[in-house]
């Protein structure tokens, strides 16, 4: 019985120490084209949160249409969105993304 209580106590402490972050509004674009991220070469989806850019896991840059579309492509514009996820190993593990109505904030 003591072992069982010890296991529950340790698992509770470990689960409380995991840092989960939720961001309401982020900027979404191509990391290389618009956020000045160096590697890897090629176009990859990224988010900018509080002036820091992170590559995205969970979504691909082409999941939202042509990345080079003049009006909404991530290589051409930076779009605002409501996003949810967490930063793991300097990458944003995104679980939710919804673009805001007037989502273009900056053209390249």
Q: What is the pLDDT of residues 15-33, one digit of tens each?
A: 444 455 566 799 999 999 9
pLDDT of residue 46: 96
pTM for this entry: 0.72
pLDDT of residue 106: 47
| pLDDT above 90 for 100 | no
Tell me whether residue 27 is in a domain.
yes
What are the tokens at 2?
């003591």
Under DSSP, is residue 106 helix (H, G, I), strand (E, B) or coil? Answer: strand
Tell me whether residue 55 is in a domain.
yes
Rounded distance between C-alpha atoms, residue 45 and residue 35, angstroms: 10
Average pLDDT over residues 82-95: 93
Tell me whether residue 10 is in a domain.
no
Rounded distance between C-alpha atoms, residue 71 and residue 51, angstroms: 23
Tell me whether residue 50 is in a domain.
yes
Tell me whether residue 77 is in a domain.
yes
Q: Are 87 and 74 in contact (CB under 8 A)?
A: no
| pLDDT above 90 for 41 | no
Range of the domain at 46: 21-107
Q: Are 82 and 93 in contact (CB under 8 A)?
A: no
What are the tokens at 56?
């995205």
| pLDDT above 90 for 101 | no
């Amino acid at each position: 019985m003591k072992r069982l209580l010890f296991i529950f106590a340790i698992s509770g402490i470990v689960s409380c120490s995991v840092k989960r972050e939720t961001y309401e509004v982020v900027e979404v674009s191509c990391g290389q084209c618009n956020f000045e991220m160096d590697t890897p070469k090629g176009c990859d989806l990224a988010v900018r949160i509080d002036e820091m850019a992170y590559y995205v896991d969970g979504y691909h840059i082409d999941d939202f249409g042509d990345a080079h579309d003049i009006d909404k492509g991530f290589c051409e514009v930076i779009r605002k969105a409501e996003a949810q996820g967490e930063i793991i190993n300097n990458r944003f593990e995104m679980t939710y993304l919804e673009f805001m109505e007037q989502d273009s904030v900056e053209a390249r």
